[in-house]
Amino acid sequence: GGAELSLEKQWEALKLSCSYTYLNAIIGWQHEAYKASNDLPYLLKAQISHTNDRFFTIACCATLRPGLWYTPIEGGEWHQESASFRPVYGEYNSKRLEPYQRFDLSLNKVHVLDKGRMLVVFASMSNIFNRHNQAGMVYSLDYAVELTSIPMQLYSIYGGIQLSF
């Protein structure tokens, strides 16, 4: 279960929108209930945008939430047949990754053409501060040590043109 509250306010060309989401996500396994990885006490999103009809729209968006839950590996056991270590897992979803923070910036310009057609030119910069948001963990070969984390999408820039008719 969960709940969401959102607000939006516009002052002429300036628009602000904010939302707060609470998500109580549970997984059932073998007659037991566990926190799902996306069980979140908060998910905050805020966007501010400015539209100038003659030029473009610019928007900045922030997304903040705690890290996702994950099941830690507490060590490894040697497996003779495969000549390798097998992970020994801790309690299901008992650890959280670091808090997630992402800031994006976008620009677009809509050109109204004849007969109801439109041309949209856009550019987007995602994760503009290049924050290393964690997607998971990497362990040593014997599973004794958490070495580093796997990053989610780092800084990226993309753009394009969209024609609708």
Coil, strand or helix at 55: coil
Q: What is the pLDDT along the chain (165 residues), one digit of tens a residue?
A: 899 999 999 999 999 999 999 999 999 888 888 899 999 999 999 999 999 878 899 999 999 999 999 999 999 999 999 999 999 999 999 999 999 999 999 999 988 888 888 899 999 999 999 999 999 999 999 999 999 999 998 999 999 999 988
pTM score of the predicted model: 0.82
Phi, psi of 46 (to 5 degrees): -140, 140
Tell how strand 118-126 and strand 100-112 pair up. antiparallel
Tell me if 26 sits within 8 A of 37, measured CB to CB: no
Helix (H) / strand (E) containing 70:
strand 69-70
Give the separation between CA 162 and CA 109, rounded to whole angstroms: 10
What is the structure's pLDDT at 28?
87
What is the structure's pLDDT at 116?
81
Residue in this structure with the two tokens 């300036």, named with its chain if needed: 14
Of 158, 98, 99, 97, the closest CA to residue 128 belongs to 158
Give the separation between CA 133 and CA 105, rounded to whole angstroms: 17
Structure tokens at 15: 């628009």
Exposure class string for 129-159: b at 16+ Cβ within 10 A, else e: eebebbeebebeeebeeeeebeeeeeeeeee
Tell me if 125 sits within 8 A of 157, measured CB to CB: yes
Q: In terms of DSSP H, where are the helices of 1-138?
A: none
